[in-house]
Structure 1
């Protein structure tokens, strides 16, 4: 791990001195990048915290390079963020799964530590660094991106990921109760399948288990989910729209909630 942190800080376009400040972790690509675009379109001044800058889009937002699995790197990144002022909105998108298929027996200590570190503890670290300033300001909205796998884990390829996301939901629920008296709302968004590179990588791993038959791998994934009534996965932009709503004043009365965006996959709560 490295604690080295760097920042690029272009002037935000069209935000003005009174724009709300947002921080998005994992905002370089995929769903995170869609969230950044959506928040900027609402007029927010956005800072991205991620390992690598957005490809070919470096001027879209402030960028702070950090490894969220390294506490020292997170601390250094937070100092840079807070030097510009207290965030009004904190969105934690960073996460993912890189574990092998094969269920519990294929997951060793290293795989469990990696999945918990990236999908749970990274959010805890960022909150620990930035939330005290939000408490002092007496305002803010925090959105953690969880997963429907917290409710219906897929044992074959993402069991540790699912367990980490379930822990993230529980942590977020408790945090919501603690921060509500300080004027800070905490909610989670739980997507089902999303049309991203991460979903493609999962499908690649499942394809290997189906002797290279990608259609069979897709059918097995949908079957494991119990079907997707909408007939497709959500787009990153659809997830970003829900997050933008929760970050806005229109969601002022919503806290401690988990908003599911899964095309109807989860039949009950």
Structure 2
């Protein structure tokens, strides 16, 4: 990565209005979406929906601490089936779709939201001070992730929010640019200020279009025009999965040892749903894992 590429790599920028009334988060996820598409061999429809969901997860995770994490899942009756993304406050995000090769029926004028269809959005947070994940579920409004996320934040967390998520494709169907913006009103926000920001977002170009000529700072300036803001944090974000061969080996050890022995395969390939990484285990390795599990049972 050269200096110019490093300067414009995928990053997240957090800011707050000088009066403390609005939190603004901007993120660039172009390489993240490209990686997700390549890892999962996605067609166009799942690429856009997963790209938006990965972007949304990073925006929400930016308000977490340390190893806390968040998962967003959209599940419906459309051809994509479901879309899942998980992110941490460190800028790590991963995700997958149920049907990587799904497509819209253009003959019936289906739109992006029809990809997921009628269904639910579920957001789960693993937090330090909670023994169990904190989960909220709402009906999908449009299935395009944008309106659905704003609806969730208002209904489940009572936080008025403006959301703009975008995955722009070029003439070849490749991912040209991707990113998103989240603006949340804090206590004390005034109606006139809110209308100004809503107007800024309503009339600004799509995020993908803006990323052709500007970076996060330029998008922040467009969103917050007429309102002084200050930067709180800025850090790189990446498509990253913590799966490993060792973790899969531990998972195999939890399977009934008799079932493992029945597999009787020369090689077993296990695939991580989140990142598409493949791990192979020989028949001898599986047999050894099964025998160790039997010993623990005795």
TM-score range, shorter chain: under 0.3
TM-score using structure 2 length:
0.25
> Which has the bigger relative contact order, CA under 8 A and spacing at least 6?
2
Q: Which of these two proteins has the greater Rg computed from alpha carbons?
A: 2
Greater fraction of residues in strand: 2
User: Which structure features the higher share of helix residues?
Assistant: 1
